[in-house]
Amino acid sequence: MGNYCGPKVRLSRSLSVPIAETPKHINMKRPTRPGMHGFRPARRTLYGRQLAEKQKLALYYNIRNAQLRRYMAAAVSSKVNTPEALQELLETRLDNVIRRLGWARTIWQARQLVSHGHFKVNGRRVDRPGFGMSPGDQITVKDSSKAYIKSCIAACTEGVVPAWLQPDNERCEAQVIRTPTPEDVRLPFEIEYSLVIELYTR
């Protein structure tokens, strides 16, 4: 899957799940699949179900297939339960942390903010959306970007900051206080991690 630049709601319609927590995705005007025959329900084989679950995960975190494959390989080789390890790797990406803090409305906005170099991690400028965060890491906003980030925070009225993050919106700072647990991971849809694991470990 390359870098998709088309309408994002189309992706939500094709998978029948909201891939973003915004009203446009949650309350879609046309919930059917896109295309001439979208009104017909999808009849998926086992491989089709595995592929759909993988696509939901990749689109929600805005990552490519190669990146998800690397995360899966790291999760399988870790000492932790594979689904939990995969969730931790995806949740602690810098762009996802920015989304969880409420500093961006969507993962696409969060990725753009990180890529444009608005944030520092432990005092060093980071412009890689996939940068892995660890407990104790401190996120700060560049002085020249604070006014813009505060306007983004004011526009993000949805969601609750998870317990593993500690934000200070007034100073535009935040800290990762611990690793996220499966209970901390809140997706706007159900996902069968076993099917994703089966797809990559065939």
What are the pLDDT digits (tens) for 150-162? Answer: 998 888 866 689 9
Do 100 and 172 belong together in one domain?
A: yes
Do 83 and 121 belong together in one domain?
A: no
3 in any annotated domain? no
Do 168 and 124 belong together in one domain?
A: yes
61 in any annotated domain? yes
pLDDT digits (tens, 9 = 90+) for 130-153: 999 999 999 999 999 999 999 988
Do 85 and 99 belong together in one domain?
A: no
2 in any annotated domain? no
1 in any annotated domain? no
d(CA 151, CA 113): 13
* Confidence at 11, pLDDT banded by 50, 70, 90: confident
Confidence check: pLDDT of 184 > 70: yes
Q: In what order do the strands lie in the sheet with 119-121?
A: 124-125, 119-121, 138-141, 173-176, 165-168
CATH value at residue 78: 1.10.1050.10
Do 63 and 104 belong together in one domain?
A: no
d(CA 144, CA 172): 12
Confidence check: pLDDT of 99 > 60: yes
99 in any annotated domain? yes
pLDDT of res. 1: 46
Query: Is 91 in contact with 100 (CB distance < 8 Å)?
Result: yes
Confidence check: pLDDT of 46 > 80: yes
Question: Measured in whole angstroms, how far is the alpha carbon of residue 168 from the centre of its chain?
Answer: 21
Do 123 and 156 belong together in one domain?
A: yes
Mean pLDDT of 73-93: 94
* Confidence at 52, pLDDT banded by 50, 70, 90: very high
CATH value at residue 163: 3.10.290.10
181 in any annotated domain? no
pLDDT of res. 114: 96
d(CA 149, CA 61): 21
163 in any annotated domain? yes
Higher-confidence position of 24 and 178: 178
Confidence check: pLDDT of 31 > 80: no
pLDDT of res. 179: 95
Do 143 and 69 belong together in one domain?
A: no
Least confident range of 25-39, 42-56, 180-194: 25-39
Average pLDDT, the chain: 89
Confidence check: pLDDT of 36 > 70: no
* Confidence at 91, pLDDT banded by 50, 70, 90: very high
Do 57 and 112 belong together in one domain?
A: no
100 in any annotated domain? yes
Do 171 and 190 belong together in one domain?
A: no
Domain tally for the chain?
Answer: 2
pLDDT of res. 174: 96
Which domain range does residue 128 map to? 94-176
Do 73 and 26 belong together in one domain?
A: yes
Do 142 and 191 belong together in one domain?
A: no
Do 100 and 74 belong together in one domain?
A: no
